Amino acid sequence: MRYVEEFRDPKAAKVLLAEIEKVTNEIGATKEKPVHIMEICGGHTHAIFRYGLDRLTPEGIEFIHGPGCPVCVLPMSRVDECVEIAELENVIFTTFGDAMRVPGTRKSLLQAKADGADIRMVYSPLDALELARRNPDREVVFFGLGFETTTPSTALSIQQAAREGLNNFSIFCNHITVPEPIKALLDDPHMVLDGFVGPGHVSMVIGVHPYDFIAEDYGKPLVVAGFEPLDLLQSVLMVLRQIRDGRAEIENQYARIVPEHGNPVSIAAMADVYQRRPSFEWRGLGEIDASGLRIRDQYKAFDAEEKFGIGYAAGPRNVQEPEGCECGAVMTGRIKPTACPQFGKGCTPEMPLGALMVSSEGACAAYWQYGGRRAVEAAE
Amino acid sequence: MTLRDTKVTLSHGGGGKAMRDLISEVFTCAFEPESKEDQARLMHDALLQPGAQLAFTTDSYVVTPVEFPGGDIGKIAVCGTVNDLAVGGAKPLWLSAAFIIEEGTDIALLRRIVASMKAEADKAGVKIVTGDTKVVGRGSADQVFITTSGVGVIPADRNLRADNIQPGDVAIVNGVLGDHGATILAARGDMMLTSDLKSDCAALGHLMEATCNAVPVRACRDATRGGIASALNEMAEAAGCAIEIIEEALPLRAEVKGTCEILGLDPLYLANEGTLVLFVAEEHAEAALAAMQSVDTGKEARIIGRAKAGNPLVTMRTAFGGSRIVDMLVGEQLPRIC
């Protein structure tokens, strides 16, 4: 089994699409009265557009693009702090590639690099750790960013650094968690959601049970989904069947990768290294209780906030989002990206103004890349 | 042999004996230009044909690492400039090569690069007839940068321009997509990827001659930076018509697809160094394919789509029967978080 091609089989897709259409009709969903399904993860948003799934599924299904792109939801103040650390003398600042373009108040990391800061793209915090070993006279800082998918590898790098007694390695921790913002969205009185497609890579780490509250407390179905087009179609069908049958359960479509209780090694590493912050700011969504992680005091030596007296260690800093950005309304499904007054005007991937245009997995960037731009041009 | 140094020093750019030794023992001994004058004097029978046009192009090459599986900066510098001439319908004849060398660069590395340029030029049937050498301080360049300019001759009856493309014309590529981009990504080592991929780096003059001699080619572009997606967008824009490509027809190696899956990149935007896309009228498609496949660099030639009436958009029909727009790339592709 090659584990990719079989999940892109057009024949199987046709069967699923026919069944999706049937169940959508049974629910009575139409273009005017659609079923609202939120794909939480930016990877899913991207796959939906890349394979044209939004055009293949019936008009009675409306996809709402959720907050699951860690680059998109990073507040501007944190980007500013990244730039400040990166511009310190003797620092090598390491980051995942797609965080390079996120605009801060003054500049992005890409611009800071052009201005002379030593900023390097890495694919894993373990690569940053290796840089620290090879450059004992320099301070190597890793921009810890992402949901539960990337959080364990950062934890492992801290544990390893502690074992080796490295004193020139630290993490600027911006790790966030998925269940809390979903709860915040569900508590939003403006929110109209009928079900969720959950991020498979996150559940690979935490399992499916952290989502139980969505079914139990809010009566909404969630299906943990893989990232291939057939995974997504099957997950949408599973959500639709639950809605049709009046059920609300947490189901696991991605069982070939996702263990029910997650990965115990990752969970243990996270518990050892991090504790929850009382709250964390999300771009477009504001402060969300207990949605961010900080490094425990035991590992304080590897916490860049402590080391450089920055971020939450330095007290709150209030940075205004650019005027006219409707990221919050897009992320909660109240408007489509193209309905934002800045879409394609003040805000494009070349000059992103708002969070969702920044990362290629943001909803607005996906709309733009796969045709939204043309829609704007055609309307003019 | 009077050149005893193993590394390039600033004195090799100073205009004195050290520079003369470097030039004669590394560059001109390999390229063998006919004269040692500052100018090359050029004559070729093709120039004497009525209606023939001169084609002239220039390009600079910077790549990290300078040596990678399937090629090096010298090979790219020859292939890239030969291809810029060839895709315009010119027979490539002469090249210049200007080197900016960082102080401290290994002379052995320079010799390898020069040997590779000579081998590729011989294969492509072009001569490197003039050149230049500059040495800059450590940190002012990354080992070596090369600028090559090329001169070729376009026969009187040949006119390859993107605005020649007509709706219904067939788009053909000569080989697999994205190998070069994926190879360089892996070779940089930043991503801790290992693969057996090699760059597709190749000179395409012979391929273009064979194809243009067999059928009237409407238009051609090489798909370098920005990949096949950018080349097709430029052509659609110039021709003022739509281009539709078929996802299942795109020649992509499993390793390239895999690298892109891991990093969240789209292979349509990965760079190529030996890949071109050309358009021919539908009735010439089979003959064009046969001509291309008769040449080494066209063995894997295949039809990937066609031009259609409509707005200048590139779209892709997905394996599902869905359709999506393949737009120009914004900035560079950056690997994603997860």
Cβ pair B263:A10 closer than 8 A: no
- Measure the CA–CA gap between B164 and B238, rounded to whole angstroms: 9
> How many Cβ atoms from other residues are within 10 Å of residue A359's Cβ?
29
How far separated are the first and last CA of chain B, in Å rounded?
55
For residue B308, the cross-strand partners are B242
Ordered DSSP codes for A285-350: TEEEET-BEEE-GGGGGGBHHHHHT-GGGG-----PPPTT--HHHHHTTSS-GGGSTTBTTTB-SS
Question: Quick check: A229 and B192 CB within 8 A?
Answer: no
| Average pLDDT value for chain B | 92
Query: What pLDDT was estimated at residue B231?
Result: 96
CA distance A300 to chain B (A): 25
What token pair was written down for B182? 């994926």
Flag whether residue A147 sits within 8 Å of chain B, measured between CB atoms. Answer: yes
CB-CB under 8 Å, A122 with B190: yes
CA distances from A15 to A12, A21, A53 (A): 5, 10, 14
Q: How close, in Å, is residue A127 to chain B by CA atoms?
A: 8
User: What is the β-pairing status of strands B53-61 and A293-295?
Assistant: unpaired
> What is the ipTM score, two decimals?
0.70
Compare CB distances from B318 to A52, A71, A101 and report the shortest one's residue. Answer: A52
Q: Give the distance from residue B296's alpha carbon to the nearest chain A alpha carbon, in angstroms.
A: 29
Indicate the average pLDDT of chain A: 90
Residue A365's pLDDT band, with cuts at 50, 70 and 90, is confident
Q: What is the per-residue pLDDT across B175-196, written as a single tens digit (0 to 9) for each?
A: 999 999 989 888 876 555 667 8
Could B321 and A10 be called an inter-chain contact, meaning their C-beta atoms sit closer than 8 Å? Answer: yes
Smallest CA–CA distance, residue A368 to chain B, in Å, is 9
Q: Which of A319-333, B127-141, B208-222 has the lowest mean pLDDT?
A: A319-333
Bridge partners, A276 (sequence order): A293
The whole-number pLDDT of residue A72 equals 84
Could you tell me which chain A residue has the CA closest to the CA of B192? A123
Per residue in B50-78, pLDDT (tens digit) is 999 999 999 999 998 999 999 999 999 99
- The two structure tokens encoding residue B7: 């590394």
Q: Is A134 on the interface with B (CB under 8 A)?
A: no
Query: Residue A104's pLDDT is what?
Result: 87
Would you state the pLDDT for residue A1?
A: 40
Distance CA B191, CA A206 (A): 26
The least confident of A335-344, B135-144, B146-155 is: A335-344
Q: Which residue of A has its CA nearest to B331?
A: A350
In 3D, which of A366, A349, A368 has the Cα closest to residue A103?
Answer: A349
* Residues A70-85: tens digit of each pLDDT: 888 888 899 999 999 9
Q: Is residue A250 within 8 Å of A258, Cβ to Cβ?
A: no
Say which residue, A233 or B257, is predicted with more confidence.
A233
Q: How far from B263 is each of A3, A143, A363, B266, CA to CA, in Å?
A: 17, 18, 19, 9
**Residues belonging to chain B with any Cβ–Cβ distance to chain A shorter than 8 Å:** 190-192, 254, 257-258, 261, 263-264, 311, 313, 318-325, 327, 330-331, 333-338
Give A345: exposed, middle or buried? Use CB within 10 Å, 0-12, 13-18, 19+: exposed
Closest CA in chain A for residue B265: A360
d(CA B88, CA B95): 16
- Chain B hits for A52, Cβ within 8 Å: 318, 320, 322-324
* Section A174-184 average pLDDT: 95
Range name among A290-294, A349-353, B145-149, B232-236 with the lowest pLDDT average: A349-353
Nearest CA in chain A to B325: A370
| A332 vs A22 pLDDT, higher one | A22
Residue A316 pLDDT > 80? no
How many Cβ pairs closer than 8 A exist between chain A and B?
Answer: 93
B336 vs A124, A348, A360: nearest CB: A360
Tell me which DSSP letter residue B7 carries.
B
Q: Which of residues 202-241 of A touch B (CB under 8 A)?
A: 229
B7-45 residue pLDDT tens = 999 999 888 889 999 999 999 999 999 887 889 999 999
Residue A179 has a pLDDT of 96
How does residue A375 score in pLDDT terms, banded at 50, 70 and 90? low
**Residue A380 has what pLDDT?**
52
**Averaged pLDDT for residues B314-325:** 84
Q: Which of A49, A50, A350 sits opposite B331 (nearest CB)?
A: A350
Residues B145, B113: Cα–Cα separation, whole Å: 11
The per-residue DSSP string of A143-181 comes to: EEEESTTTHHHHHHHHHHHHHHT-SSEEEEEEEB-SHHH
Q: What is the pLDDT confidence band of residue B312, given thresholds at 50, 70 and 90?
A: very high
Report percent pLDDT > 70 for chain A: 96
d(CA B265, CA B198): 18
Asked if pLDDT for residue B97 goes beyond 90, the answer is yes
Nearest to B325 among A145, A350, A371 (CB): A371
Mean pLDDT of B261-270: 84
Would you call B191 and A55 a contact, using CB atoms and an 8 Å cutoff? no
Q: What band does A69 get if pLDDT is binned at 50, 70 and 90?
A: confident
Torsion of CA A310, A315, A321, A326, to 10 degrees: 110
Query: pLDDT at residue A374 above 70?
Result: no
Please list every residue in chain A whose beta carbon sits closer than 8 Å to the beta carbon of residue B254: 2
pLDDT at A247: 97
Chain A residues closer than 8 Å to B257 by CB: 4
The residue-averaged pLDDT of A243-250 equals 98
User: How many Cβ atoms from other residues are within 10 Å of residue A186's Cβ?
Assistant: 16
Average pLDDT over residues A92-103: 89
- Cβ neighbours around A265 below 10 Å, total: 11
Which of A351, A349, A335 is closest to B327 using CA atoms? Answer: A349
Pairing of strands B217-222, B276-280: antiparallel
CA distances from A195 to A49, A63, A66 (A): 19, 10, 12
Whole-angstrom Cα Rg for chain A: 21
Does A124 contact chain B (CB < 8 Å)?
A: yes
Token duo for residue B109? 């590395």
For residue A118, give the nearest of A141, A144, A146, A145 by alpha carbon.
A141
DSSP B270-298: S--SS-EEEEE-GGGHHHHHHHHHTSGGG
pLDDT of residue A97: 84
Residues A280-293: tens digit of each pLDDT: 998 878 899 999 99
pLDDT tens for B150-161 read 999 999 989 999
Which A residues in the span 242-281 are in contact with B, Cβ-Cβ below 8 Å? none
Q: Which residue has the tokens 């935007």?
A: B269
Does A156 score more than 60 pLDDT?
yes
Among B320, B323, B337, beta carbon nearest to A146: B337
Q: Distances from the Cα of A298 to the Cαs of A116, A294, A295, B111, B139, in angstroms?
A: 34, 11, 8, 55, 41
From B311, B324, B334, residue closest to A52, measured CB to CB: B324
Which pLDDT tens digit goes with each residue over A202-221?
A: 999 999 999 999 999 999 99
- Average pLDDT of A314-326? 77
When CB atoms are compared, the residue of B325, B331, B337 closest to A96 is B337
Give residues with Cβ within 8 angstroms of A199, minimum separation 6.
Answer: A40, A41, A43, A44, A68, A147, A149, A178, A224, A225
CB contacts of A145 in chain B (<8 Å) are 337
The pLDDT tens digits of the residues spanning B199-223 come to 999 999 999 999 999 999 999 999 9
| Residue B52: C-alpha distances to residues B88, B156, B162 (Å) | 13, 5, 20
Portion of chain B with pLDDT greater than 90, in percent: 76
- Residue in chain B closest to A121 (alpha carbons) equals B190
Mutate to test the interface with B, among A20, A98, A157, A230 (most CBs of B within 10 A): A98
Residues A6-29 have pLDDT tens digits of 777 888 999 999 999 999 999 999
A7 touches chain B (CB under 8 A): no
> CB-CB: which of A97, A147, A348 is closest to B334?
A97
Q: Which of B257, B313, B320 sits opposite A52 (nearest CB)?
A: B320
Whole-angstrom distance, CA of residue A143 vs CA of residue A96 = 8
**Do residues A67 and A185 lie in contact, with contact meaning Cβ atoms separated by under 8 Å?**
yes
- Contacts with A127 from chain B: Cβ below 8 Å: 190, 192
